A and B are shown apart, each in its own frame.
Chain A
Amino acid sequence: MKLDVEALFRERLHRFTAEVVRYGQYMANGSVLMVAVFLCGLLAYYYPSLVRSIPAGFPLPYALAVVFAIFVTRSPHRTFLVEADLLFLTPAESGMARYFQKTQVYNFAVQSIGLFLVMLLCLPLYRGTLAGGGVQGWLYWAVPFVLKGWNVHASWIAMRLPDKRQRAAHTLGRFGFTFFLLAWMLGEGSFLVWRHVPYGAVVWMALLVWFHVRLQRMGKRHAYQWYQLLEMESGLRRRFYQIAGQFRDVPSLRQRVKPRRWLMWVARLIPYRTANAGRILFLTVFLRSVDQAGVYIRLVAISALLILIMPGLLAKVAVAVLFLWMSASQLKGVGTETRHRGRSSLLPLSEQQQRHAAMWVRRALLLAQTAVSVLASLL
């Protein structure tokens, strides 16, 4: 029986789209979205004055080229692979080319949306200081997307490289290549021109030939690196769940853990006592969780920074309260993750003890944030 990769791709894409729609609804309902809209409004308000404040001598075309090149070069590959595919799809490896073509198209489309938004955001900068009319305007919109397509294609082939360092070097090469062309385009052909010879273009041509030869060889010499494809897929999927997890509990979001030895003194502050077992447990679990503690630490840092730079006591208090509220809603998850997943029988802690301990940890963390906010406002 022949594997119908078209149907397989449709089915996988459909399943993911259904998830996006489901979590999208939660996001649209969530209050975090309100905060995001508020911050966007703030940005829109200050943006024109920011554009005006750029000094005349600033090499804006090349700065824009760097920003665009980052977004054009970064081409992660969603493949919708699952672990069982290592067993079931690897025998059909040669037939998978068609499937992966489709995933490339998908990745190009999704990443182009992000690129488009970045370019839209930078348009006022471009319009305000550079010429940007006629053919040049068309080039502004066309070239990055053509380069994006090439980057998706080239990085897909480079995914066959078994060595991570080789892949990183390849990515760096692609970045240089992309930057050269973008700088040349945004600089209206003046990039690396010396005595009327456009060296930028010459270097770019040389790079293009080199890349072409390299990619041809890579495609022939190496097979798909299934484990790396799977690792990338699960990383990207986890990222999606993490974002969704800011709005809603995501059951498939397995907690990631970091040792964080530099932070563990905090948990050791709590003395050894039977009544403290639950508190130590939940605080340790919290401090080691990548997602929960990561978000909390970022919220504390950002709020401290904003309090420092905001003028007037009222604004400082408003920021402090807003961020405390965000932390509080984020910290609701403390303890729940630990209590579920069948681990509650590991230690003889009653349901009530666990609830109290989780509450205690949440309060302690909010108190710590308040202390940081007060300190920042006094500075």
Chain B
Amino acid sequence: MTATALLEVKGVTGGYSASHTVIEDVSFQVREKEIVALIGLNGAGKSTTIKHILGLLEPREGEISIAGRTFSADPDTYRHAYGYIPESPVYYEELTLWEHLELAAMSHGLEKEVFMERVQPLLREFRMEEARDRFPQQFSKGMRQKLMIMMALMVRPALYIVDEPILGLDPLGIRTLLTWLARCKEQGAGILMSTHILATAEKYCDRFIILHKGRIKAQGTLEELRRTTGMPHHSLDDIYLQLVEEA
């Protein structure tokens, strides 16, 4: 039995303006209990794809649905259906770390008891307990990134969309994030993760979508990619470079 598709991207073409197409005919799925890597060079269209999924850009053609619902049908429920970890942290200068977490829990409809129960392990494992009453303005980039991650992880959505999570994090932070994501996956979540770091992707992700110049070059598990490229013993890195260079 195949797991149900949490995220369904069907034939999406789009970009920032009508005259300039960034992604073309992009189709893929993210199912329950899997981590899918979105891989591509700078400017390949990873962030544009993610913005379309978030409902921040409107596809010119094609359709995107999360758990069967589209953005245009019901924007509010759609936005509640995923947790997003952005590449560049956004935050309120006026709120402390703790207040960010509390407001995230509150606005997502978590009970206070649930919030209290979930927040402590997060603070502990990301080693942010001492920063709980401090302001993100005083944080390093990695700490701000952790704030974004903790806000998403606390809500425990069915689908995570993670944009370049590893840049700026220290090695311990990377390990904690990946362990958490693996645990979320075990509990049934689907995760879409855009990244440049192929070694990490190879280790943690179940399937790979290789995006090049706005089009999907190849997708599948590592085994499937090896078969289609005829490189049976090669790493993801080699396969990726081969695919991109021949293009």
Q: Which residues of A contact B (CB under 8 A)?
A: 255, 257, 259, 272-274, 276-278, 280-281, 284-285, 288-289, 338, 342-343, 345-350
Contact = CB atoms under 8 A, between A and B. Distances in A.
Contacts of B112: 272
Interface size for chain B: under 10, 10 to 19, 20 to 34, or 35 or more residues? 20 to 34
B56 A345 contact: yes
Q: Is the interface of B mostly helix, strand, loop or mixed?
A: helix
A257 B90 contact: no
Nearest to A341: B90
Interface of B: 54, 56, 75-76, 79-80, 84, 90-95, 99, 102-104, 106-109, 112, 115, 135, 137, 151
B79 to A, nearest CB: 5
A280 B106 contact: yes
A234 B136 CA distance: 21
Contacts of A348: 76, 79-80, 107-108
B109 A289 contact: no
A342 B107 contact: no
A333 to B, nearest CB: 14
Given A257-B135, A272-B112, A348-B79, A284 B93 contact: no
B107 A349 contact: yes
A323 B102 CA distance: 35
A343 B108 contact: no
Contact of A277 (B54, B79, B84, B106): B106
A135 B79 CA distance: 78
A347 B135 contact: no
A339 B225 CA distance: 44
Contact of B92 (A259, A274, A278, A346): A346
Contacts of A277: 103, 106-107
Nearest to B93: A257
Contacts of A280: 103, 106
Contact of B103 (A257, A281, A288, A289): A281
Interface centre among B79, B104, B106 (most CB of A within 10 A): B106
A348 B79 CA distance: 7
A288 B137 CA distance: 13
Nearest to A260: B94
Contacts of B103: 277, 280-281, 347
A305 B79 CA distance: 49
10 contacts: A274-B107, A278-B107, A284-B94, A284-B95, A284-B99, A285-B95, A345-B84, A345-B90, A346-B90, A350-B76
Contacts of B151: 346
Given A342-B90, A343-B90, A350-B75, A276 B95 contact: no
A338 to B, nearest CB: 7
Contacts of A342: 90
A274 B155 CA distance: 13
B137 A257 contact: yes
A276 B106 CA distance: 8
A285 B54 contact: no
Interface centre among B92, B109, B112 (most CB of A within 10 A): B92
A179 to B, nearest CB: 40
Contacts of B56: 345
B13 to A, nearest CB: 23
Contacts of A259: 135
